[in-house]
Structure 1
Amino acid sequence: MTRRAALESTFESHKTATQVAAALRPDNTPEIETRVDGTTVITEMKRETTGGLQATIDDYVVNLQVAAQLVTTDGDTSTTIQHNHE
């Protein structure tokens, strides 16, 4: 049985969301898809085991935080991201 998760992160603008998604895409595998809908980055992932899915989510969240900080133009390293977990 395949385990699935979808993570949504909302940003201040479509431009920022697009930049964050572009920074995350190199880490995508065939089991991970990242797209932008307005100001929201949506990443869907699937793994065969719960532990594998958890590890993938953990890695993704770290990468997301780094990407968000890199595209922040105000220099604020305490970028806050709103996460919606399914």
Structure 2
Amino acid sequence: MTDEPRTATLRTDHGTPTRAEWVAAAVTPDNTDSMATTVEGTAVRTEITRETTGGLQTTVDDYVVNLGVAQAVIEAVDDRSPGEADSSTAANQQADDTLHHE
């Protein structure tokens, strides 16, 4: 048996550089010291290194769940129609317009 650490590299494409940045920003806070996440164009790349196969599997499983949640949130936001804008955003825009036109 070898004492070499186990590694996994996960690369997911998110269609645009902005979406990739959003996904990376969402998953990175949950990274452990054994993980490194970067953005490569439209893709998010995460390298995971663990001492045991079981530890690697657990970390990959947790990361994939976090990735799925991040992707679902981004898709939900993208699916909102412009007419569904947050009322506080609309109120802030109206207040901003009023301040600039008085």
Q: Which category of TM-score, normalised to the shorter sequence, fits these structures?
A: 0.7 to 0.9
CA distance in 2, matches of 1:57, 1:30: 14
1:8 is the counterpart of 2:8: no
Give 1 or 2: higher strand fraction.
1
Identity %: 51
Is the helix fraction higher in 1 or 2? 2
Q: How does 1:1-86 map to 2 (within 5 A)?
A: 1-72=4-75, 73-74=78-79
The list of structure 1 runs, each at least 4 consecutive aligned residues, that deviate by more than 6 angstroms after superposition, is none
Task: Output the TM-score relative to the length of structure 2.
Answer: 0.71
Question: Using the alignment, how far apart are the partners of 1:22 and 1:47 within structure 2?
Answer: 22
Aligned length: 75
Structure of greater Rg: 2
Higher relative CO (Cα under 8 Å, sequence separation at least 6) belongs to 1
Q: Secondary structure at the match of 1:5?
A: strand
What does the per-residue CA deviation read over 1:13-56, in whole Å, with 9 as the maximum and x for residues that have no partner? 00000000000010112110001000000000000000000000
Deviation at 1:71, TM superposition (A): 1.3
**TM-score (norm: length of structure 1):** 0.84
